[in-house]
Chain A
């Protein structure tokens, strides 16, 4: 084992973690309002607006259809404008967030759509505003499913960071390409993949646990 392995992996994992956290937070900030709006502007819902609904739906579909590598290239000017550079983990978080946001919006839409119409009607009958219905009915009632959705998004973003790593974002993906692939360092290749596998398992396990905790009272009899 080379003595540079451990520090290299630590730095790489740190960068990956940083990108995943930053991009997830940004994707939630962008994707949550989008997902909520798509639901409440749909036919028969509390802020029905067929036109806005169609526009948002199209926006989500178009952004989702770009391959991620193309997205990175297209968003280089935006990264430079927001971060000042196109290299490094912070700059890579721009395309990561923007690619993940519409994906997350769809997941959130699906979760919120599962909330029983009767609950929304009951809240309307009590004089709730659309915003109160979102905050006090839709989100709390769908919370465990939303947690699973965000878990899925975190894992998807983790996969994307490896692609971003290939073109200068840093992180474990970058290590695997630069050392593992280009310099035939099998130890680096093996270790990065192992860390990513363990990380993804850990994220899924935590998400499942949290979702189950939220759900516990709501479905258990007795």
Chain B
């Protein structure tokens, strides 16, 4: 479904050149819930933003569903983006539009007829459990509800892939859990491939089938979640596991 091959990304700053991604290779299968975990600054956002070219990689290739994203010219890239949904840490909803209007937005961009937009919006709001909020504005919603709108918006145009950039990092644990449940549910129901990045082990544990571990711009470990959790090979993953065991220890009252 998604093949990332020898991807490199540099940032040029006044203080010099910074390598944000170094020779990243990944294979993501159709229907995977693929997690990418790493500490802050590891390059997770850079990587996921390269997938729809919100960031331009310097070299390497990305193929999504047989289409080489990294070679597309402007117009074709826009068309490809219409089939790649994305959700964000801070939701990025349009405040001047109602819930309904926000979900209709990608469909307007994709040139859907008005009547079909209304029908699709209703359908997708039902899927995320927000039918009763259709006429509300984002300012009248809770964080969890806002992210549900973000998810509905990302799913409206029947994407092949959903990209999630720390979509639950601004939410409390209960809300995080319910949003992750929704994503898992969508993955099961629609067979949608999900790529999500996070700095939280609990997110990987709850919904991912596979995980890649990033450290300073490189993938240091990658595999099925159970396998990586039971026999971690990278120092970063060991650190994450120790930390999360410690937290669980506190949780159990030890």
**A interface residues with partner B (beta carbon < 8 Å):** 116, 118-119, 121-129, 132, 136-137, 140-141, 143, 214, 217-222
A218 to B141, CA, bound (A): 11
What 9 A-B pairs have minimum CB-CB distances, sorted nearest first?
A122-B92, A127-B81, A118-B92, A127-B82, A127-B78, A217-B137, A125-B86, A126-B106, A140-B96
Query: Is residue B79 within 8 Å, beta carbon to beta carbon, of the partner chain?
Result: yes
**B140 contact from A118, A127, A128, A220, Cβ within 8 A:** A220
Q: Is the CB of A220 within 8 A of B92?
A: no
B84 interface contact, C-beta 8 A: yes
Please tell me if the beta carbons of B94 and A124 are within 8 angstroms of each other in the complex. no
Q: Within the assembled complex, what's the spacing in Å between the Cα atoms of A143 and B54? A: 26
- Looking at chain A's contact residues, is the secondary structure mostly helix, strand, loop, or mixed? helix
CA–CA, A221 and B143, complex, Å: 12
- How far is it, in angstroms, between the C-alpha of A126 and the C-alpha of B88 when the chains are bound? 13
- List 24 interface pairs A-B (beta carbons < 8 Å), by A numbering: A118-B88, A118-B92, A121-B54, A121-B92, A122-B88, A122-B93, A125-B86, A126-B81, A126-B106, A126-B109, A127-B79, A127-B82, A127-B109, A128-B78, A132-B109, A141-B95, A141-B96, A217-B137, A217-B140, A218-B139, A219-B139, A220-B139, A221-B139, A222-B140
How near does chain A come to B36, taking the closest CB pair, in angstroms?
A: 17
**CB of A215, distance to nearest CB on chain B (Å):** 9
Q: Is the CB of B94 within 8 A of A137?
A: yes
Residues of B participating in the A interface, judged by any CB pair closer than 8 Å: 52, 54, 78-82, 84, 86, 88, 90-98, 105-106, 108-110, 137-140, 153, 157
CA distance A116 to B91 in the complex (A): 11
Tell whether, in the assembled complex, residue B137 and residue A124 are in contact, meaning their CB atoms are under 8 Å apart: no
Complexed CA–CA distance, A122 and B79 (Å)? 15
- Give A128's nearest chain B residue, CB to CB: B109
Residues of A within 8 A of B157 (CB): 126
B140 x A122 contact (CB < 8 A):
no
Give the distance in Å from the alpha carbon of A135 to the alpha carbon of B71 in the complex: 28
Cβ of B76 to closest chain A Cβ, rounded Å: 10
Chain B residues in 8 Å Cβ range of A127: 78-82, 106, 109-110
- Could you tell me if B78 and A129 are in contact, using CB atoms closer than 8 angstroms? yes
Chain B CB count within 10 A is highest, among A124, A127, A132, for A127
With A125-B52, A125-B81, A125-B84 in contact, is A136–B105 under 8 Å at CB? Answer: yes
**Which residues on the A side are within 8 Å of B78 (C-beta)?**
127-129
Besides A121-B92, A125-B84, A221-B139, 13 new A-B residue pairs in contact (Cβ under 8 A), listed by A number:
A116-B92, A118-B90, A118-B92, A121-B54, A126-B81, A126-B82, A136-B108, A140-B96, A218-B95, A218-B138, A218-B139, A220-B139, A221-B140
